[in-house]
Amino acid sequence: MYELMAWLEASALAEFLRGLGVWTYGLVNLVHILGIGTLLGSVLLLDLRLLGAWNSIPLPTIARPTVPLAATGFVLAVCSGVAMLSFNTTEYHGNPFLYIKLPTLVVALANVAIIQRLSAWRRGMAGNASQPGDRGVLAVAGAVSLLLWLTVVACGRMIGYW
Ligand code: HEM
């Protein structure tokens, strides 16, 4: 792990970013926060809908704007996150919050892929009549998703306090 971190810290990207000036880290951090806000805000709406909130609103009406927004926020957060990490990567060596955050991020992404393959999700998105059990399946999917993303955010926030 240390070797990988040392490689990122010595990479051309890291050297380029560090050479841009004193404001660079702050601006990249700002992009990270904007990405996180966009991602979490969208995920919160969608997951609460899956958990049963605003049941009178059709699932596609909420999913159509929130899914692409969440994806945009995710891309911003990942790009800026890697850039921030590259500034002084080896300082994060042994930081448990980073080590929890990054794998949880991968699991949260896998969960997104799983949700989109669920029959209950597909029926809901196609506007087809739901089958018995669909609500329960979607509620579990929403709860798992929310828990994973909140873990990522909480660990991200705690990284700096280790
Ligand atoms: C590959 C992806 C990512 C990497 C490498 C990464 C890396 C980082 C780094 C290095 C920090 C600064 C820690 C510090 O020294 O204080 C940070 C902060 C943070 N990250 Fe990420 N991050 C990634 C994605 C995400 C995502 C997707 C989220 C949210 C869903 C997130 C949430 C946070 C939060 C809440 C903070 C604290 C921001 C602050 O207080 O200024 N990160 N991240």
Give per-10-residue mean pLDDT for the chain (162 aa). Answer: 95 95 96 98 98 95 97 98 97 97 98 97 91 95 98 98 94
Taken as a whole, the chain contains a residue count of: 162
Torsional class of 21: left (φ above 0), alpha (ψ -120 to 50), beta (otherwise):
left
CA neighbor of 101 nearest in space, from 152, 148, 147, 150: 152
**Encoded tokens for 81:** 């996150």
Identify the pLDDT of residue 126. Answer: 93
Domain spans of the chain, in order of start: 2-159
User: In angstroms, rounded to a whole number, what is the distance separating the alpha carbons of residues 48 and 54?
Assistant: 8
**In the numeric block, which tokens belong to residue 84?**
């921030």
**Cα separation of 154 and 139, whole Å?**
22
Does 160 contact ligand 1 (Cβ within 6 A)?
Answer: yes
- Rounded to the nearest 5 percent, the helix, strand and coil shares of the chain are 80, 0, 20
Q: Are 59 and 124 in contact (CB under 8 A)?
A: yes
User: From the CB of 141, is ligand 1 less than 6 Å away?
Assistant: no
First-to-last CA distance in the chain? Answer: 18
Fill in the amino acid letter for 23: W
| Cβ of 49 less than 6 Å from ligand 1 | no
Choose the residue to mutate in 84, 93, 157 for probing ligand 1, maximizing ligand atoms within 8 Å of C-beta.
84
**pLDDT at res. 106:** 98
Range list of β-strands (E), 4-136: none
Backbone angles phi, psi at 50, to 5 degrees: -65, -35
Element (H, E) at 73: helix 59-87
